[in-house]
Amino acid sequence: MTVEIDPAGIWDSEAIADVAAATFPLACPPGATQDDIAAFIDDVLSAERFSEYLTDPNRTVLKVTHGGAIVGYAMLIDGEPADPDVGRVVTLRPTTEISKLYVLPGNHGTGVASALMDAIVERAVAAGFAGLWLGVNQENVRAQRFYAKHGFTQVGTKTFLVGTQLHHDFVMQRAL
């Protein structure tokens, strides 16, 4: 499958929010309630929030397009981890966080996510980062396998709030 991966612009906010709303529930653990997932999408993954992310100088949103439609995205946050517990286990500096990396279900298994990860690594290397890190839900074994395949190893844990529920994530990092 031929895809294009480019930095997103403010004009992409609504389309990326739509992809986020469709993909985020797939990464949630089975115990996550629909109300909590909906609240998270409204609070964190709305078009308005993506407009904010796209104007933040410490964030980069990459979009994946196929046939003119956005089929996936990644959000990267440059700099020190905001969570001090994560800061203690992420040892590579300077670092950037892969805050979000999602591909629409019809594109799973097609190489789209791997192409997106390759673009992330290329960007981070070009910017002089020593490593990448991310959080992945402890029950999301599929995502953990994907990240391990791309050189990430588990270095710690963190919590992640979805609506009113606190979830537990593994912290994974990769040297560049």
User: Can you tell me the distance from the alpha carbon of 16 to that of 45, in angstroms, rounded to the nearest whole number?
Assistant: 9
Please compute the mean of the pLDDT values over residues 118-138 and round it to a whole number. Answer: 97
**pLDDT value at residue 101:** 97
So where are the chain's domains? 2-173
What type of residue is 44?
A: V
**pLDDT value at residue 165:** 85
Convert the pLDDT of each residue in 10-54 to its tens digit.
999 999 999 999 999 998 888 899 999 999 999 999 999 999 999
> Do the Cβ atoms of 99 and 130 come closer than 8 Å?
no
CATH architecture designation of domain 2-173: 3-Layer(aba) Sandwich (3.40)
User: Can you tell me the distance from the alpha carbon of 112 to that of 92, in angstroms, rounded to the nearest whole number?
Assistant: 27
Please compute the mean of the pLDDT values over residues 119-134 and round it to a whole number. Answer: 98
